[in-house]
Amino acid sequence: MKNYLLTPGPTPVPKEVLDAMARPIIHHRTPQFQTILKEVEADLKHVFQTKNNVLIFSSSGTGAMEGTVTNLLSPGDKAIVVRAGKFGERWGELCDAYGIEFIPIDVEWGKAVDPEVIKKILTEKGTLPPQKLAGPPMAEIKAVFTTLCETSTGVSIDIEAIGKIVKPSNAVLVVDAISALGAVPIKTDEWGIDVCVAGSQKGLMIPPGLSFVSLSQKALEMVSSSKLPKYYFSFSAHKKSIEKDDTPYTPAVNLIIGLNEALKVFKKDGLENVLSKHKKNAQGVRNAMKALKLELFAPDAYSDAVTAVKVPEGIDGGKLVKTMRDKYGVAIAGGQAQLKGKIFRIATMGHITPSDLKVCIDTLETVLSDMGYKFEKGVGVKAFEKTL
């Protein structure tokens, strides 16, 4: 059986990247590795659209999220956490783990946050002028934690609008772009993202195991005065090293070599072209679902990185995903937490190609039909092809 991976992470890894990672390992304190790291750093800055350093960690995305909390904040600091799905909730769990009090903005799953809600809280808490509450200094919000693509719901959040609100305040804007970087447009500097967090196994076309963080000047100032405990994920130590094309500890050498190869694809094809291909693919998937009379889970705020679709009435969502994977070799994702069995998710990021998606939609049609869902066979694939 041939296996197709269409989950929103991990995503398929191109052959040239796999080949590069299979090369004999080299030592990291060598000019050869330094050259690679230098190239990787420059190419990452391009994908992040930032002039600032991008720090590289050996961990999955959550490691860099945890590092962000511990490197920015100090005991007593307050934050805002946008919780529009499972990954927004993770920011809250991390704040809880380190005793950071936060104001949650709970958004119905499938919807995006209204940026004005953030503005209202920042203003009320005196983080934005006019200062209404003359509370103690601890009442001030130090960070706004949000997600760009909420992978659990397929929702895209308007970071550009939130950036405009947070920029004039004393707070930093922290964005979980783990599933968004390399998949959808991100303009870190232009949008005023102070901390942009990313991971390796989604839009960047390499296996899990690396995470990334970019830091603005405003964020760096907070890092220098932060008092929460940290060691392995020390942003200061990583920044000092990367400025010398080095890492503080042994890096994931072969993953970085793979990343160097993967980032060449963005350079060769052009960042804009890569992103517009994903966008076209996502449009195709949405049109295919509509043709199949399936409902999108986030019709008003969909992301081009992953499409969430409601499981139709009378169909067992868990069984649908399992049958596609085990009988036909097509791996898509089901729903998480309260959405378990209620939605399925198809990714359009990284090395997922139109032919993979055609196989996916065709298999979805076969399995839905076997499970008793009524529709005209072939209309999904046709709608996908027509979009492209």
Ligand X SMILES: *Cc1c(COP(=O)(O)O)cnc(C)c1O
Instruction: Give me the residues that bind ligand X (CB under 6 A), please.
Output: 9, 60-62, 87, 147, 149, 151, 176, 178-179, 199, 208
Q: How do beta strands 306-310 and 330-331 pair?
A: unpaired
Residue type, 15: K
Query: Residue 355 CB, nearest distance to ligand X (Å)?
Result: 24
In the bound state with ligand X, the residue whose beta carbon lies nearer, of 128 and 306, is 306
State phi, psi for 141 to the nearest 5 degrees: -85, 130
User: Closest Cα partner for 145 from 216, 194, 201, 200?
Assistant: 194
In the bound state with ligand X, the residue whose beta carbon lies nearer, of 82 and 359, is 82
Give the Cα separation of 323 and 145 in Å (integer). 37
Query: Residue 207 CB, nearest distance to ligand X (Å)?
Result: 11
- SS3 call for 12: coil
Q: Which residues are paired to 4 by β-bridges? A: 330
In the bound state with ligand X, the residue whose beta carbon lies nearer, of 155 and 257, is 155
In the bound state with ligand X, the residue whose beta carbon lies nearer, of 151 and 260, is 151
In the bound state with ligand X, the residue whose beta carbon lies nearer, of 235 and 328, is 235
- SS3 call for 239: helix
Query: Residue 65 CB, nearest distance to ligand X (Å)?
Result: 7
In the bound state with ligand X, the residue whose beta carbon lies nearer, of 60 and 234, is 60
How is residue 262 written in tokens? 């993967």
Ranges of beta strands (E only) in 203-248 are: 210-215
Give the Cα separation of 378 and 65 in Å (integer). 42
B/e letters for 333-366, b = 16+ CB within 10 Å, e = fewer, are: bbbbeebebebbbbbbbbbbebebbbbbbbbbbb
Query: Residue 172 CB, nearest distance to ligand X (Å)?
Result: 18
Query: Residue 386 CB, nearest distance to ligand X (Å)?
Result: 29
Query: Residue 217 CB, nearest distance to ligand X (Å)?
Result: 25
Q: By Cβ distance, which residue is nearest to ligand X?
A: 61
In the bound state with ligand X, the residue whose beta carbon lies nearer, of 66 and 365, is 66
In the bound state with ligand X, the residue whose beta carbon lies nearer, of 169 and 211, is 211
Query: Residue 277 CB, nearest distance to ligand X (Å)?
Result: 20
Query: Residue 305 CB, nearest distance to ligand X (Å)?
Result: 8
Listed in sequence order, the residues at least 6 apart from 124 whose beta carbon sits closer than 8 Å to its beta carbon are 132, 133
- SS3 call for 48: helix
Distance of CA 31 to the CA centre of its chain: 32
How is residue 118 written in tokens? 């953030």
